[in-house]
């Protein structure tokens, strides 16, 4: 596999109609809080079909958005134009063991990387709480796991082939750092990703350790836990019944009120796979079997990113908000850590980060809780997960993302007519 340079593929000028699988087909996301009825929904099976769909849209003056697994709860996917449903473009397309690289089609789900990479002695460096997202969907929002030395999926992007707003297939590699840093976190606004290359690592086993410290103990060992483990994350439970809401096994014989469910995953070497253990709380397994948690019941989340040095204060401020003003909010608060990176629109750009996730129940009125949490966390200069509910505005982005202008310049070069914008992304990045 070689690193590609930016290349423009000459293509015929006439747009042909796409192969739609439907017109006016209603779309709803996983959480049920976002809907759209695109004029055309297209499920391309090949690059050519995706290209035909984009060229058709450009010719007809229609906007285009892509959808991955629909796990974002912000209004990223909505379009009244052409929706490209990417689930048919899937599969690992190449690996390079020596360079520790893997290529995959854009619709490949994270869980489809596990076995094929393992067979080549490779593995993803990190994963988040679930593995059902498509890789291009995960990249678009800077999806992350936890670990202070581990970056997001976006930080691992080294090459991408995409369809731009001129109706061309182009490639961005490491020779085009300016464009690559824009592509790493693009919210779908540079164009339709067709295939990506990620930096990966040698395959590894992880040993899980689950503990249930009370909050005083959690806070007392804060930095030691972050620094002393490859993956450290915690879910703080405000009350009884909290753990069950996310299917977390509670501490045997202990009240979970004001207690944390903490996860540590560290690399181990084993003689052979007879040492694999599936005992809950102390599993030992291939990395990709340890990470994903599940989460089958829909919920809604707000996820904010504060500089690591403010992580404990910000978490305790959120706890106080729940205790004093929102005691009915029972979902655990998740806290994770992510390494700094360079993607222009990455929430981790230039700062080691503590991630704080608030989860709420669909069908309940959680807006005031989220707004108050947003206001409370402002003193910590929070960035927000692009794929979760947030209150970001253009003026906030101007303050929080030093490379915003460069991102917008690149976006306009790739898509001068704004083919790939919808109302949400136009307001932020138009």
Ligand X SMILES: Cc1cc2nc3c(=O)[nH]c(=O)nc-3n(C[C@H](O)[C@H](O)[C@H](O)COP(=O)(O)OP(=O)(O)OC[C@H]3O[C@@H](n4cnc5c(N)ncnc54)[C@H](O)[C@@H]3O)c2cc1C
Binding site for ligand X (CB under 6 A): 30, 65-72, 76-77, 86, 106, 128-130, 133-134, 136-138, 140-141, 143-144, 187-188, 192-193, 295, 387
Q: Are the C-beta atoms of 117 and 124 separated by less than 8 Å?
A: yes
* Distance from chain centroid for Cα 19: 29
Closest CA to 34 of 71, 81, 63: 71
Q: What is the dihedral of CA 278, 280, 282, 284, to 10 degrees?
A: 20
Output the smallest distance, CB 307 to ligand X, in A.
18
Nearer to ligand X, 128 or 343 (CB): 128
Output the smallest distance, CB 254 to ligand X, in A.
26
Nearer to ligand X, 134 or 353 (CB): 134
Nearer to ligand X, 68 or 382 (CB): 68
Nearer to ligand X, 141 or 184 (CB): 141
Closest CA to 141 of 226, 29, 309, 5: 29
Output the smallest distance, CB 382 to ligand X, in A.
15
Nearer to ligand X, 193 or 326 (CB): 193
Q: How far is CA 103 from CA 75, 97, 159, 201, 244, in A?
A: 28, 12, 9, 13, 38
Nearer to ligand X, 226 or 246 (CB): 246
Output the smallest distance, CB 124 to ligand X, in A.
13
Q: How far is CA 160 from CA 105, 107, 143, in A?
A: 10, 13, 17
Token pair listed for 206: 């992880």
**CB-CB neighbours of 30 under 10 Å:** 17
Q: Are the C-beta atoms of 142 and 353 separated by less than 8 Å?
A: no
Output the smallest distance, CB 66 to ligand X, in A.
3
Output the smallest distance, CB 371 to ligand X, in A.
21
Max intra-chain CA distance, the chain: 70
Output the smallest distance, CB 127 to ligand X, in A.
8
Nearer to ligand X, 71 or 254 (CB): 71
Output the smallest distance, CB 274 to ligand X, in A.
31
Helix (H) or strand (E) holding 79: none
Nearer to ligand X, 224 or 347 (CB): 347
CA pair distance 297, 124, nearest whole angstrom: 26
Pairing of strands 82-85, 64-67: parallel
């Amino acid at each position: 596999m070689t690193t590609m340079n930016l290349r423009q593929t000459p293509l015929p000028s006439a747009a042909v109609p796409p192969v739609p699988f439907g017109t006016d087909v209603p779309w709803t996301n996983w959480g049920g809080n976002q809907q759209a009825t695109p004029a055309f929904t297209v499920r391309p099976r090949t690059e050519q079909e995706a290209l035909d769909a984009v060229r058709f849209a450009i010719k007809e003056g229609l906007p285009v958005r892509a959808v991955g697994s629909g796990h974002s709860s912000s209004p990223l996917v909505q379009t009244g134009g052409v929706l490209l449903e990417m689930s048919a473009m899937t599969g690992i397309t190449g690996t390079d063991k020596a360079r520790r690289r893997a290529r995959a089609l854009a619709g490949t789900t994270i869980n489809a990387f596990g076995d094929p990479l393992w067979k080549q002695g490779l593995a993803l460096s990190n994963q988040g709480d679930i593995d059902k997202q498509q890789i291009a969907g995960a990249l678009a929002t800077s999806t992350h796991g936890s670990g202070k030395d581990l970056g997001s999926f976006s930080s691992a992007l080294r090459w991408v082939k995409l369809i731009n707003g001129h109706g061309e297939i182009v490639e961005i590699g490491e020779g085009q750092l300016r464009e690559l840093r824009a592509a790493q976190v693009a919210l779908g606004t540079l164009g339709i990703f067709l295939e990506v290359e990620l930096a990966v690592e040698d395959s590894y086993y992880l040993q899980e350790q689950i503990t249930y410290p009370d909050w005083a103990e959690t806070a007392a060992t804060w930095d030691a836990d972050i620094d002393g483990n490859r993956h450290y994350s915690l879910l703080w439970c405000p009350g009884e019944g909290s753990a069950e809401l996310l299917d977390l096994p509670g501490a045997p014989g202990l009240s979970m009120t004001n207690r944390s469910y903490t996860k540590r995953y560290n690399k181990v070497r084993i003689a052979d796979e007879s040492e694999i253990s599936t005992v809950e709380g102390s599993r030992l397994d291939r990395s990709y079997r340890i990470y994903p948690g599940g989460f089958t019941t829909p919920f809604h989340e707000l996820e904010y990113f504060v500089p690591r040095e403010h992580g404990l204060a910000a978490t305790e401020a959120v706890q106080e908000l729940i205790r004093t003003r929102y005691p009915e909010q029972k979902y655990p608060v998740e806290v994770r850590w992510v390494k700094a990176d360079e993607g222009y629109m990455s929430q981790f750009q230039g700062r080691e980060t503590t991630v704080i996730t608030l989860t709420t129940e669909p069908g309940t009125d959680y807006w005031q809780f989220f707004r108050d949490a947003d206001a409370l966390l402002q003193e910590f200069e929070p960035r927000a997960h692009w794929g979760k509910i947030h209150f970001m505005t253009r003026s906030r982005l101007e303050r929080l993302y030093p490379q915003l202008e460069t991102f917008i310049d690149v976006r306009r070069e790739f898509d001068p007519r704004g083919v790939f914008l919808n109302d949400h992304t136009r307001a932020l990045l138009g």
